[in-house]
Amino acid sequence: MSRRSYNQYCATAHALDLVGERWTLLLVRELLTGPRRFGDILGGLPGMGTGLLAARLKFLVEEGIVEQVTLPAPANTPAYALTEAGAALEPAVLALADWGMAWALGERRKGEVFRAGWAVLAMRSAYVPRAGFAAVYEFRVDDEIFHAAVRDGDIATVHGPAQRPDVVITVDDGDTFRALLNGEDVDGGVTALGDPALVALLPTLFAWPEARERVSSARPR
């Protein structure tokens, strides 16, 4: 992939030279929850073609942001993971997610795709620390499996099943999953195995940014 540059000796410009291309930060988003196979990454980026993903991954590997790995047994398959430099992008990606929830997300538009796995990182940024609380939640939504391990002030969210989940929550679709995390009334579509008290506590573990209007109410539109 040919490299384009802003040709500015500026840290922000140099960072954007590396990760500012369309799709790149979303690719990083997919890898922030652990190593993923090529097909899994592609599945998490609907609308991105196979050739473009291969080119982006090749560039990021060459630049030391992504590396090729082999998943442990029983998978033993090739995959991609973030390097130390790539993982260091997490605060920037979470900050963009926070900003997006407050200032950009709004109502879901017709034709917009939503995958429950995209909420995995948002759960990290919205987590409200709870002293003395520990639990492992496993979520099964559509064809996606991921889990959140909460312990005191920390939360780890990872794609894939948990080894010893306290609760396993199966949800029919992504919209129902969003409603569940938001503490909205869910009329069916959810089954849970485990402590019911932990299920009831789930929405209290997160504080989602309040949606805000980008255009000042005092400014004519």
- CATH code for the domain of 172: 3.30.1050.10
Domain extent for 197: 116-205
Residue 36 domain-assigned (yes or no): yes
* Nearest-angstrom CA–CA distance, 82 and 34: 8
Q: What is the pTM of this model?
A: 0.88
* 200 shares its domain with 124: yes
What CATH number corresponds to the domain at position 20?
1.10.10.10
* 120 shares its domain with 201: yes
Question: Which pLDDT band, with edges at 50, 70 and 90, does 221 fall under?
Answer: low
More confident residue, 147 or 143: 147
Residue 96 domain-assigned (yes or no): no
* 77 shares its domain with 157: no
Residue 27 domain-assigned (yes or no): yes
The fraction of the chain above a pLDDT of 90, given in percent, is: 74
Per DSSP, the residues of 106-130 read -SPPTT----GGGHHHHHHHHB---
The fraction of the chain above a pLDDT of 70, given in percent, is: 96
Q: Measured in whole angstroms, how far is the alpha carbon of residue 34 from the centre of its chain?
A: 10
Q: Are 160 and 149 in contact (CB under 8 A)?
A: no
* 49 shares its domain with 120: no
Listed residues 71, 88, 105: the one ending a domain: 88
- Domain count within the chain: 2
Neighbours of 119 (CB within 10 A): 22
* Nearest-angstrom CA–CA distance, 154 and 22: 31
**How are beta strands 134-141 and 167-171 bridged, if at all?**
parallel
87-118: pLDDT as tens digits: 999 999 999 999 999 999 988 899 998 888 88
Residue 214 domain-assigned (yes or no): no
Residue 6 domain-assigned (yes or no): no
pLDDT exceeds cutoff 50 at 184: yes
* Nearest-angstrom CA–CA distance, 186 and 163: 27
Q: What is the pLDDT of residue 182?
A: 87
Residue 61 domain-assigned (yes or no): yes
- Average pLDDT for residues 166-185, to the nearest whole number? 91
Residue 99 domain-assigned (yes or no): no
Beta bridge partners of 194: 167
Q: Alpha helices, DSSP H only, in the chain?
A: 11-19, 24-31, 38-43, 50-62, 84-87, 90-103, 119-126, 174-181, 196-201
Residue 62 domain-assigned (yes or no): yes
Q: What is the pLDDT of residue 23?
A: 96
Which of 191, 25, 1, 31 shows the shortest CA–CA distance to 95? 25
* 20 shares its domain with 81: yes
Is the bond preceding residue 74 a cis peptide, omega within 30 degrees? yes
Q: What is the pLDDT of residue 71?
A: 92
Provide the terminal-to-terminal Cα distance of the chain, rounded to the nearest Å: 42
* 121 shares its domain with 167: yes
pLDDT exceeds cutoff 80 at 220: no
- Average pLDDT for residues 8-13, to the nearest whole number? 97
Which of 171, 208, 173 shows the shortest CA–CA distance to 191? 171
Chain mean pLDDT for the chain: 92
* 16 shares its domain with 80: yes
* 131 shares its domain with 182: yes
